[in-house]
């Protein structure tokens, strides 16, 4: 039979882990909110760059040539010589590029700060378990944590409240480790995208960057949904 001191220690550890787990998911929610913000900045950079390198009017077409001759003015000639971009639009879109790029670097700083907080919470959770003579089980996939294989079942509806109550505090710590690994990889991907942006980035590259940014391939949506269901 467990001693009273041991029971008390385990209860304290359990309560502390639950509180840490909720704080951890709050940080994850902040990361989720930042994703579309960064996506808009990335789209703004792409739009500004595409405008600046918009191809000039081709005069090889007979129709275009006739239109230009029929409406030839000094202003039109200057516009054509400038690559069909007036000075105001050039300045405006150049400024847009710098603003979006600066915003993306600021975005990365915010994400990194939240990741540091999540890492700290994970460390506190581990320490709390060690103090209670618990041992973190090896990080496992989500199915082994909740005892549910989403590929073989009807999905999250089959996760009953009784099953949730069977989870040990070590399971919550394991889930935190899994999620931290996912969001850290997502940050690494975002960082690589932002640091690779330049005036020579191709349209195909920019399209791929935007797609990967919004898809978040390293973040498993099913895992995230199940993680939120574990909130006590």
Residue 109, in any domain of the structure: yes
Residue 17, in any domain of the structure: yes
| pTM given for the model | 0.74
Q: How many domains does the chain have?
A: 1
**CA angle at 83 for the pair 82 and 86, rounded to the nearest 5°:** 55
Nearest to 178, CA basis, from 125, 215, 127, 133: 125
Average confidence score pLDDT of the chain? 78
Residue 123, in any domain of the structure: yes
Residue 90, in any domain of the structure: no
Q: Residue 220 sits in which domain range?
A: 4-42+100-229
Q: At what angle do helices 203-215 and 4-52 cross, to 10 degrees?
A: 160
Average pLDDT over residues 127-135: 65
**Residues 4-51 pLDDT 10s:** 776 777 777 778 888 999 999 999 999 999 999 999 999 999 998 987
Residue 120, in any domain of the structure: yes
Nearest to 115, CA basis, from 183, 177, 173: 183
**Residues 106-117 pLDDT 10s:** 999 999 999 999
Collect all residues with Cβ–Cβ distance below 8 Å to 6 and sequence separation of at least 6. Answer: none
Residue 66, in any domain of the structure: no
Confidence of residue 1 (pLDDT cuts 50, 70, 90): very low
Task: Give the integer Cα–Cα distance in Å for 201 and 207.
Answer: 10
């Amino acid at each position: 039979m467990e001693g009273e001191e041991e029971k008390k220690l385990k209860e304290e550890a359990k309560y502390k882990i639950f509180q840490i787990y909720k704080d951890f998911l709050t940080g994850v929610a902040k990361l989720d909110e930042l994703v579309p913000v960064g996506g808009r900045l990335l789209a703004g950079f792409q739009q500004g760059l595409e405008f600046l390198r918009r191809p000039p009017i081709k005069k090889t077409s007979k129709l275009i040539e006739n239109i230009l001759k029929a409406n030839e003015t000094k202003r039109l000639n200057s516009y054509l010589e400038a690559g069909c971009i007036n000075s105001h639009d050039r300045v405006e879109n150049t400024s847009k590029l710098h603003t979006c790029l600066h915003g993306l670097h600021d975005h990365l700083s915010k994400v990194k700060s939240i990741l540091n907080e999540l890492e700290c919470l994970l460390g506190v959770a581990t320490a709390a378990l060690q103090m209670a003579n618990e041992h973190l089980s090896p990080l496992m996939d989500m199915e082994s944590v909740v005892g549910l294989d989403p590929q073989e079942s009807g999905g999250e509806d089959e996760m009953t409240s009784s099953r949730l109550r069977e989870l040990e505090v070590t399971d919550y710590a394991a889930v935190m480790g899994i999620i931290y690994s996912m969001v850290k990889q997502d940050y690494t991907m975002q960082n690589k995208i932002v640091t690779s942006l330049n005036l020579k980035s191709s349209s195909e590259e920019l399209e791929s960057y935007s797609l990967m940014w919004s898809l978040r391939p390293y973040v498993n949506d099913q895992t995230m949904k199940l993680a939120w269901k574990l909130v006590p």
